[in-house]
Amino acid sequence: MAQDLWGEVDDYITGKLLPADPALDAALARNREAGLPAIDVSPAQGKFLHLLARLAGAKAILEIGTLGGYSTIWLARALPNDGRIVTLEYEPAHAAVARRNLDGVGLGAKVDLRVGPALEALPLLEKEGAVFDFVFVDADKRNNPGYLQWALRLARVGAVIVIDNVVRRGAILDSASADPDIAGTRRMFEIASGEKRWSATAIQTVGAKGWDGFAFGLVEQA
């Protein structure tokens, strides 16, 4: 019941504030045809991420967890002409769909899509001297502690770090959870609570994708 209403309200918001977007619809259709799980951010959340990246004036974005590139499209559209997004995806099949989706909407040149475990790609990015203005963490939640620590290493002072799925229908409260993804996000919160370089909060969300939430915050001077 509540889920139906959350979904209807999301449809209302989307109908009012998000103009019809054939490129994004086509990406979701390709994801479906390829059998990808429908765990992309919702349209309203995608636009929220897009607006956050623009508010941050982001020219260099890092995304951990591409799936079919739905959130990548929203973020890439926030970039200026000379901006770039690096997006990390473990599953070659997901990355192949994302590549097609991104090229299909003409964003291919702005997107550096790297296939493999993110925890292997992140040290390479550091060696390359990459520095990011905006980081979106949305991959395997068990590695959220490592992803937050890498995000802090790779982000400039003043950057924004956003982490998806930090509430999981309240499951985040379960300190005895056998789910490594819940344990990982709880450890991320532990790290964040003692981390002076990240001034953060978390906002619970309901909508088309259920009850969940984003953690987000600003990277502060050490």
Binding region for ligand DHB (CB under 6 A): 39, 138, 164-165
Query: CA of 8: how far to CAs of 39, 93, 168, in Å?
Result: 18, 32, 20
Task: Answer positive or negative: Cα dihedral of 43, 94, 212, 169.
Answer: positive
Nearer to ligand SAH, 149 or 197 (CB): 149
Among 66, 143, 165, 185, indicate the residue that binds Mg ion (CB under 5 A): 165
Nearer to ligand SAH, 32 or 158 (CB): 32
Instruction: Map residues 106-145 to x or -, x wherever contact with Mg ion holds by CB under 5 A.
Output: --------------------------------x-------
Nearer to ligand DHB, 53 or 163 (CB): 163
- Residue 169 CB, shortest distance to ligand DHB, in Å, is 9
For 140-171, what is the HEC assignment? CHHHHHHHHHHHHHHEEEEEEEEEECCCHHHH
- Residue 53 CB, shortest distance to ligand SAH, in Å, is 13
201/216 Cα distance (integer angstroms):
6
Binding at 91: pick from ligand SAH, ligand DHB, Mg ion, none (beta carbon under 5-8 Å per type): ligand SAH
* Closest listed residue to residue 83, CA positions, set 60, 101, 102, 56: 60
- Residue 165 CB, shortest distance to ligand DHB, in Å, is 5
**Residues between 72 and 111 with contacts to ligand SAH, criterion CB under 6 A:** 88-91, 94
Instruction: Map residues 29-58 to x or -, x wherever contact with ligand SAH holds by CB under 6 A.
Output: ----------xxx-----------------
| Both structure tokens of 70 | 């739905």
Does 71 engage in binding with ligand SAH (CB under 6 A)? yes
Strands 155-164 and 132-137, bridge-based pairing: parallel
- Residue 110 CB, shortest distance to Mg ion, in Å, is 21
* Closest listed residue to residue 158, CA positions, set 194, 132, 196: 132
Strands 212-219 and 155-164, bridge-based pairing: antiparallel
Residue 220 identity (one-letter amino acid): E
- Site residues, ligand SAH (CB under 6 A): 39-41, 65, 67, 70-71, 88-91, 94, 117-118, 138-140, 143
